[in-house]
Structure formats: C-alpha cells, structure tokens
Amino acid sequence: MRTRLEKWSLLLSAAAVFVLPTVSSAQLSTSDIDTRLGTESHVGNITGHAKDAKGDYRRYCVGCHGPLGDGNGENAPYMQPPMYQQPRDFQLGIFKCRSTPTGTLPTDQDLYDAITRGFDRSNMPQWNTLSKQQRADLVAWVKHFSPRWVGEKPGTPIPIPPEPEVTAERIKAGRDVFARMQCWKCHGVQGMANGPSASTLQDDLGRPIAAFNFTDGTRPKCGDTDQDIYRIFMTGLDGTPMPSFADNIKPDEAWDLVFYLRTFMSQKSKEKEMAKQLALKPVDPNAPAGQQ
Amino acid sequence: MQVSDRFRFRNILQLASSFAAVALVLASIVLTCSQPANALPAFARKYGLRCSACHESWPMLNYFGQKFKDNGYQLMNDRDAPIWQNPGYWPVVFRITPIWHRVSVGKVQVDTYTAGAPDGGQAIQRVSSSGFDLSGLDFHTGGTLEKNISFYLLPSSDPTGAFHFEQVFVRFDNIFHSSWFNFKLGRFELDNLLSEKRILTLTGNGGIYQTYHFIPQGDGNIFGQIGDNQLGIEYLGHSADDRTRISASLVSSSDGNVNLSTTANAYTGFFAASQAFDAGRLGVQRVGFYAMAGEASTYYLTEGGVPIGGSGIGNKSFSREGFVGQFYFGPHVGLTVVTQHGSDNAWFGQGYGNAEATDGNGGTTATCSSPAPGCPLNNVPGTPLPAGAQSPSWNGATFEGHYIYSPQLIFIGRYEVEKMSQQANGAACTACLQSSSGTFTASGATPSNFGNISTYTIGFRYNPFMTSRAGLAWHNEYNWLHQDGTGPANLTTGALTNINTSEILMGLDFDF
C-alpha cells in the first residue's frame, strides 16, 4: 500500500512531466543550432569564436533577434512596419548589406561592419562600443544560427572601380540610368520613396517594406559613402524588393547613378550644386526610352 | 543489506523522489512565471533593448549605456526624435525598493536605569535595530524633446513621501553636427565615471561612495560632495564611439541646494577626461582623471545681527582631484578604481562655511547672529583664524569589483579607505575649534587618524527575468564601516573611541 508521501510524489512528478515540456518547447531546435557552436569568423587578423559570444548575444541582441536567432525576440511584436523594421532572422542566412553578389553569403567583414555601423531607421544601433574581439565573436555567433554557412562559402566581393570625377554630363547620364532602370517606380521621380510601386512593396517574407527616401536626411542603411551606394545597387539588398543591377548596368553607369542620387539628398554636395546649375528636371515616367 | 537498512534506504528513496518532484514543479512554476512583464522602463521601451544592453547591472551603466547617455539619450539611428516614437510612449519610470534591513551601531551613549527608573548614569553599548522598511520613490522621466535636445526630470521622495527635485536638466547635443559640442543646464550629477546615482548598493553607508562625500570631521565646507547632484552648466565632448570623453562643469558651490539659501556668490569648476582602449579578449578598458577646484563662502552679511540668506561672502578655496580606472578582465570580471586627494582651506577646517552648522546649541540663521553661542559659525570680518589652524587634506580610494555571472546575476565587492594626511588642527593649536557630536569647542591638536574611514560592502543582485519591459532585482547586501575617533568619548577617561557600524539588507528593487 502506497504511503501518502508516495502518492503525492507520483502526483507531483506527473504534473511536472506535463508542465515542463510546455515551458521548454521553444528550445527544441536549440540542439540543432548548438552543433554549430564551433563556428568561427575571421575579421582582419582577429578570429571570432561563436561560443565566446553567447553572453554578449544574451546581453545585447536577444531582445530583438531572439534566443534562436530567428528574429522573434520579445520586442519583435512591437516592431511593426512601416514605423519599425522587423529584426533579422539569422536562421535564413539572408542579409541586406553585403559586398558579395546577390544570393551569396556575406563576408565576415560585412557582418562585422553591420554590427559596428548599425542600421539607420531601424532599432539596430551601432555596437562600436564593443571590443573588436567581441564583435568578431558575435559575427561567428550570427553565422552559427544558419546551416547555410556549413555548406556554402561567402561570395567574392564585387570589385568597385575608382570613383571618377563628378561632371554635369555624368549627373545627366545618371538620370538616364535612373529612368532606364525604372528606379522611380519605387523611389519616386524625386527620390522621395513615393513611386507608383512604393505602397505595394513587400520583403521576401511578405511583410510591408518602404523604399528608401533619399530626401529626408537619413543615411542609407548599408553606409553613406559613394562606394557604399555603388555597392548597394550592384549587390542588391537580398530579402527585399531592391534587386542587384550588376547584370544590367556597367560600372561607369553605376557611378553616374551614384552622382545622380546624390542630387536628391538633403546633405550639401558637389552633385547637388551642379544639378541646381543645370536646372535638372526629374525624370519623366512617360517619356520614350532614351528621351529623358 | 539488513532489513532495517533496506527500510531506511527505501525511506531515503521516497524522500528523494518527493524532493525531486517538488523541485521539478517549482522549477516549472518559476520558468512559467518568468515571462515578460507588461510594464516598460522608459528607454528600453522606446528602443526595444533589454536593460542589460545599457546596464552592466541595472542601474549601473556599461559602455554602451554611457555612449547612449553621452549622445543625449539617443542611439543616433535616425529614430531618436519624438516624431518617430510610438504615440503611446510615455517616458516615465517608477523606482522604489521594499526592504528588510538590520543596522548595528557599535557605540551609542545610552541612559542607564536602576530599579526601572533612570539613575542619571550613562553607558556605551551597541545598538541594533531591524525591520521591514521602504526606500524613497523616484519618478524618472527623460528623453528627447527634439532631435539632439533632451531632458531629464527626477522628482524624488524620501521614505516619508517628502519630494524634491533630484535631477532636472535640459541638454543640447551634437551642436554643429559634432559630438564634441554638447551642453546641459540644470541640476545634474557631475561627470563621474563611477556614478553614485547609479550605484549598485543600497545600505546607508554602502549606498554612497565615501570617497565622493568624505570631508574631515568638523569641516564646514558644504560643497566638495562630488557625489551629489549640482546646479550648473556642463560641457561634454566625446568621440563618435565615445572612446575619448572630456567634460567641464561650472556649478554653484551650493551642493545642489536651491534658492541660493546656503552658499551663494561662489562657483566651482569640475573637469574630467578619460580614454578607453581595446584590450582584446580582456575587453574595453578606460582610464581617466578628474579635478575640481572651487570656492565657497564662510560668512554671511547680517542685518541687526541676523545673517541675510544668500549673502554668503568671504569665499575660501578647496580642491579635489583623482584618478579613475575601469578595468575588465574578460567578460565576467570588472574592477573600478577611484582615487582622490582633497584639500580644504583652513577656515573650512575650523567649521566655517556651513550656514546650517551651529555651535551645537540649536541656533538657526533666522534667529541669531554669530558668534553668539548657539548660532552658526560666521566668519565675520575681523574674526581671527586660531593659531595652529591649517588646511585639512586627505587621500581616499574606492575599489569596486564586479563578478558578472550573467546579465541577470552580479556580485559586488567594494573597499573604500579615506585617510587624513593633515588635520585642520595642527600641533600648534591651543584654541582651535573642534566638532564633537555637532558641538564646536576649543581644542588642541587633532590626532592624525581622527575621522579616517574604512568600509567594506559586499552583495549580489539577481534579476529573475531579463526583458526590455521591466526591471526587478532581488538585492542582498552587507556593509561594514569603521571610523577612527568618532565614537562617544570614553565615559571614564574621556578618550576618543572608534566606531563600527554594520548593516545587512535584503530587498526587491524594481522599476517599471
């Protein structure tokens, strides 16, 4: 005959068996991810180790990106487009800001730069207060969430030719590229993100996404140097409607486009001054090809 | 195995299984309850970052949090201005701490009784008191008014509910689009890398940095309290990544008191600079220094013998300077060191300066004039500095170590030492003033160690959950403080005695 103590023991054990799995169900795929804890990163002469970034990820990143790196942190429900952008899902291994061709994995340096620079117009701040080693470790940690890094290698960074001199002809040529590539469909004829397609844009996960507004004074997400802007439309922003134009425009034309886009931006620039002197008009969406 | 042994073994198994089951259920309950709360600390709510992103352990800032603060409570991600905020955002945080604590004071002079009635005698004994208690309530509210214009307002109450404005300021940041030009005006904490307003400990003596508040016994300089919030203006400049920081403040020498009721017409300058550097796997280290020099009044104009409030003149000088280092030894261990050399003018050493300090007979500035008995010490023109009086000076240091097991659990250990290097009453003193229990009496030379302090504080803070939505810390702390010569005088010999006090505290420190 069972004692009262034994009965209670059985009852409590049964209760625990039912309760515990519901609590820990969200951790089921952790073991899969943990198999990649040996992931490394190489940034300059620093080697990052995923296992060393666990504490920093938990301290700084997990609130948005979630314990499984799937972008489902506790803050994700509060980050609704268009005011906010959803945290990146690291498990997909798809990244906007890369130096590598579209569809390929970014380099470790790309991820390191993203952590250091942060992303304007998003909740991702600059983490340049962390030591270089901490950031390299976090790069390895980000990589360890996605199985893509197991079988794939990062793409080869696209070459960026030296920046030519800005001329009025180049700015005008850039306007032609802007029209020919139909950039205005999303970004608008004056770069104000109000093109006819702007309201319909969605990312690869079907979430609304806004085109970049060149005129409101904010900085491009993947860097604001001329080289950064060149890189953005030659690599595309994977996971978003912004495609790569690497197969459609030549490097020289890409530079022309950079100069033309600078004329939209509110910051003072040589391009903006030249556009004013030229009395450059916005592209006409209805003009026949080549007759802007 | 004997039958009795088997029976004992079976009982042990039953007990073990019961304990295991109870432990499992408790674990289930704890895990289930450790879900994000709905309440939102202000900045974490605005930016969706966990407390741990900005705080080594709340409320102590880490490097990222310091940078956020230095940028005027902005992440600099083009989403800082209020226009980008959720309309429901309301930047208010409430903080209060229900506690249990036990305070033990080593030497207290008490009345003695015989047959149930006071016998007119006195004795010295240890007095301990314990019980449940409450901290004051803080309403923190702060944020951006516009891009690069921010504010902070902190109405704060004592445990009885009496409110004052602990911090109030407006700051302008990134003037000329440069992180090197930032200003703030109001009542604020001086740019101390080891912030007392963000201290991790809560006991009476451990909840402040002794190094920031130390003044010689009987010293009348009400300023010199670099841990207190001050009224003034501050310039701050820093590199974009906050590796290099410099600041300079000009504040009233009123120790933050309003209405110019204490020290008026006197100002103090505070300068601080620091540089951080990357030490690889050890982390980012920071070293710096600070210096403060100022003047404070030592007497008041009078009308009909009554001091006129705000008329403080007869300014005398004082200075504080020291070194600060924030060192990390990997992700878990940190050590902060602050040193200080302090010096006050000899007049302060004789007790002049504090309008509220009296000669111990209960006088106030409104009812009497100096130097009559019972009145504030007032350095009226012609008052001679007693022969042998000299500028008191001292050296102090704070060593605070942290072991960060995880963002949710931090262990704290602190040692502070303050030692007089020159007493206000030198060897030549025959009629210098000396404070004892608030009464100033003529005195000879002061023992060299009089007023020295050494204190230890240990504790830990455990956050049972860590989200960007609320903060709760289970706080445990023990403090022990020793001071030379400030205990009650020996009842037989009249000799100075040392005093030891200790406090143990447990509480729930929460904000929402």
The residue out of A151, A180, A197 marking a domain boundary is A151
Residues A94 and A123 in one domain: yes
C-alpha pair distances (Å), B384 with each of B127, B308, B368, B380, B440: 41, 22, 21, 9, 16
Task: Tell me, yes or no, whether A247 lies in a domain.
Answer: yes
Please report residues of B whose CB lies closer than 8 A to that of A79.
48
Is A19's CB within 8 Å of B64's CB?
no
Residues A203 and A96 in one domain: no
Task: Tell me, yes or no, whether A13 lies in a domain.
Answer: no
Predicted pLDDT at B11: 55
Model confidence pLDDT, tens digit, residues A47-69? 999 999 999 999 999 999 999 99
Please check whether residue B136 is in contact with residue B146, taking contact to mean a CB–CB distance below 8 angstroms: no
Print the SS3 string covering B29-78: HHHHHCCCCCCCCHHHHHHCCCHHHHEEECCEECHHHHHHHHCCCCCCCC
CB neighbourhood size of B210 (10 A)? 23
Minimum distance, in Å, between the CA of residue B440 and any CA atom of chain A: 52
Please report residues of B whose CB lies closer than 8 A to that of A20.
24, 27-28, 31
Please report residues of A whose CB lies closer than 8 A to that of B280.
131-133
| DSSP assignment letter at B9 | H
What residues contact B152, with CB distance under 8 A and at least 6 apart? B73, B140, B141, B142, B167, B168, B169, B171, B186, B188
How sure is the predictor about A257, in pLDDT bands with cuts at 50, 70 and 90? very high
Radius of gyration in angstroms for the set of CA atoms belonging to chain B, rounded to a whole number: 26
What residues contact A290, with CB distance under 8 A and at least 6 apart? A176, A180
C-alpha pair distances (Å), A226 with each of A160, A187, A222, A276, B49: 10, 18, 11, 20, 31
Task: Tell me, yes or no, whether B3 lies in a domain.
Answer: no
Provide the terminal-to-terminal Cα distance of chain B, rounded to the nearest Å: 60
* Closest chain B CA to residue A53: B331
Identity of the residue in A5, A19, A133 whose CB atom sits nearest the CB atom of B280: A133
Strand-pairing partners, residue B461, are B410, B475
Provide the terminal-to-terminal Cα distance of chain A, rounded to the nearest Å: 95
Predicted pLDDT at B38: 28
Please report residues of A whose CB lies closer than 8 A to that of B66.
129
Residues A67 and A175 in one domain: no
Structure tokens given for B399 = 């060593």
Kindly report each contact of residues B148-157 with a partner whose C-beta sits within 8 Å and lies 24 or more positions away, as own/partner: B148/B72, B148/B74, B148/B172, B148/B173, B148/B174, B148/B175, B149/B72, B149/B173, B150/B72, B150/B73, B150/B74, B152/B73, B152/B186, B152/B188
Residues A260 and A186 in one domain: yes
Hey, is the C-beta of A49 within 8 angstroms of any chain B C-beta? no
C-alpha pair distances (Å), B196 with each of A246, B152, B188, B202, B502: 56, 17, 12, 11, 20
Residues A49 and A112 in one domain: yes
**CA–CA dist B198, B473 (Å, integer):** 14
Among all chains, which residue has been given the structure tokens 């001050």?
B230
* Closest chain A CA to residue B85: A83
Nearest to B51 by CA among B469, B331, B460, B476: B469
Identity of the residue in A3, A5, A20 whose CB atom sits nearest the CB atom of B24: A20
Task: Tell me, yes or no, whether A231 lies in a domain.
Answer: yes
Hey, is the C-beta of A133 within 8 angstroms of any chain B C-beta? yes
Predicted pLDDT at A89: 93
Among all chains, which residue has been given the structure tokens 């352990």?
B57
| Backbone torsions φ then ψ of A200, nearest 5 degrees | -100, 0
Minimum distance, in Å, between the CA of residue B19 and any CA atom of chain A: 8
Structure tokens given for B80 = 């800082």
Q: Structurally, how many domains does chain A consist of?
A: 2
Nearest to B239 by CA among B263, B274, B205, B264: B274
Task: Tell me, yes or no, whether A196 lies in a domain.
Answer: yes
* Closest chain B CA to residue A23: B32
CATH number of residue A124's parent domain: 1.10.760
| DSSP assignment letter at B373 | T
* pLDDT tens across the length of chain B (512 residues): 444 455 454 554 454 555 454 444 444 433 333 332 223 367 777 787 888 889 988 889 999 999 999 999 998 887 787 777 777 777 888 889 999 999 999 999 999 999 888 888 999 999 999 999 999 899 989 889 999 999 999 999 988 888 999 999 999 999 999 999 999 999 999 999 999 999 999 999 999 999 999 999 888 887 878 999 999 999 999 999 999 999 999 999 988 888 776 667 889 999 999 999 999 999 999 999 999 999 998 877 777 666 677 777 889 999 999 999 999 999 999 999 999 999 999 999 888 876 655 544 444 444 444 444 445 566 666 677 888 899 999 999 999 999 999 889 999 999 999 999 999 998 888 877 766 555 566 677 888 999 999 999 999 999 998 777 677 899 999 999 999 998 888 888 888 899 999 999 999 988 87
Identity of the residue in A20, A62, A129 whose CB atom sits nearest the CB atom of B284: A129
| Residue A204: pLDDT over 60 | yes
Please report residues of B whose CB lies closer than 8 A to that of A23.
28, 31-32
**CA–CA dist B23, B455 (Å, integer):** 39
Hey, is the C-beta of A28 within 8 angstroms of any chain B C-beta? no
For all residues of chain A together, what is the average pLDDT?
88
Minimum distance, in Å, between the CA of residue A143 and any CA atom of chain B: 20
CATH number of residue B70's parent domain: 2.40.160.10
Predicted pLDDT at A27: 41
Identity of the residue in B14, B21, B279 whose CB atom sits nearest the CB atom of A12: B21
User: Best of A59, A122, A219, A266 to disrupt the B interface by mutation (most B CBs within 10 Å)?
Assistant: A59
CATH number of residue A236's parent domain: 1.10.760.10
C-alpha pair distances (Å), B389 with each of B347, B376, B428, B433, B483: 8, 19, 8, 9, 23
Hey, is the C-beta of A185 within 8 angstroms of any chain B C-beta? no
Residues A41 and A141 in one domain: yes
Residues A119 and A222 in one domain: no
Task: Check residues A231 and B375 and name the one with the higher pLDDT.
Answer: A231
Around B33, how many Cα atoms within 13 Å sit in the side-chain half-sphere?
Answer: 7
Task: Tell me, yes or no, whether B125 lies in a domain.
Answer: yes
Task: Tell me, yes or no, whether B25 lies in a domain.
Answer: no
Please check whether residue A265 is in contact with residue A226, taking contact to mean a CB–CB distance below 8 angstroms: no
Identity of the residue in A58, A119, A124 whose CB atom sits nearest the CB atom of B407: A58
List the domain range (segments joined by +) for residue A184: 168-278
Residues A60 and A109 in one domain: yes
Is B67's CB within 8 Å of A60's CB?
no
Minimum distance, in Å, between the CA of residue A75 and any CA atom of chain B: 6
**CA–CA dist B144, B400 (Å, integer):** 32
Nearest to B395 by CA among B493, B298, B319: B319
| Residue A194: pLDDT over 60 | yes
Model confidence pLDDT, tens digit, residues A104-119? 999 999 999 999 999 9
Please check whether residue A49 is in contact with residue B53, taking contact to mean a CB–CB distance below 8 angstroms: no
Task: Tell me, yes or no, whether A43 lies in a domain.
Answer: yes
Task: Tell me, yes or no, whether A227 lies in a domain.
Answer: yes
Hey, is the C-beta of A51 within 8 angstroms of any chain B C-beta? no
Residues A138 and A176 in one domain: no
Hey, is the C-beta of A40 within 8 angstroms of any chain B C-beta? no
Is A124's CB within 8 Å of B280's CB?
no
Identity of the residue in A63, A79, A127 whose CB atom sits nearest the CB atom of B50: A63
The residue out of A151, A182, A217 marking a domain boundary is A151
Residues A126 and A221 in one domain: no
Burial classification of residue B317, based on how many CB atoms lie within 10 Å of its CB (0-12 exposed, 13-18 middle, 19 or more buried): middle
Q: Structurally, how many domains does chain B consist of?
A: 1
Identity of the residue in A16, A127, A218 whose CB atom sits nearest the CB atom of B24: A16
Predicted pLDDT at B35: 33
Is B50's CB within 8 Å of A12's CB?
no
Please check whether residue B374 is in contact with residue B356, taking contact to mean a CB–CB distance below 8 angstroms: no
Task: Tell me, yes or no, whether A27 lies in a domain.
Answer: no
Predicted pLDDT at B512: 76
Burial classification of residue B510, based on how many CB atoms lie within 10 Å of its CB (0-12 exposed, 13-18 middle, 19 or more buried): buried
List the domain range (segments joined by +) for residue B446: 37-511
**CA–CA dist A197, A270 (Å, integer):** 30
Please check whether residue B228 is in contact with residue B256, taking contact to mean a CB–CB distance below 8 angstroms: yes
How many degrees, rounded to 5, is the angle at CA B261 between CA B260 and CA B267? Answer: 40
Minimum distance, in Å, between the CA of residue A111 and any CA atom of chain B: 18
Task: Tell me, yes or no, whether A38 lies in a domain.
Answer: yes
| Residue A25: pLDDT over 70 | no
Predicted pLDDT at B457: 98
Residues A50 and A140 in one domain: yes
Please report residues of B whose CB lies closer than 8 A to that of A222.
none
Residues A112 and A201 in one domain: no
Is B21's CB within 8 Å of A9's CB?
yes
| Residue A160: pLDDT over 80 | yes
Is B76's CB within 8 Å of A126's CB?
yes
Is A123's CB within 8 Å of B79's CB?
yes
Its pTM stands at 0.83
The residue out of A105, A125, A151 marking a domain boundary is A151
Among the residue ranges A6-15, A30-39, A73-82, A214-223, the one predicted with the least confidence is: A6-15
Is A122's CB within 8 Å of B77's CB?
yes
Print the SS3 string covering chain A: CCCHHHHHHHHHHHHHHHHHHHHHHHHCCHHHHHCCCCCEEEECCEEEEHHHHHHHHHHHHHHHHCCCCCCCCCCHHHCCCCCCCCCCCHHHCCCCCCCCCCCCECCHHHHHHHHHHCCCCCCCCCCCCCCHHHHHHHHHHHHHCCCHHHHCCECCCCCCCCCCCCCHHHHHHHHHHHHHCCCHHHHCCCCCCCCCCHHHCECCCCCECCCCCCCCCCCCCCCCCHHHHHHHHHHCCCCCCCCCCCCCCCHHHHHHHHHHHHHHCCCCCHHHHHHHHHCCCCCCCCCCCCCC
Structure tokens given for B220 = 């009348």
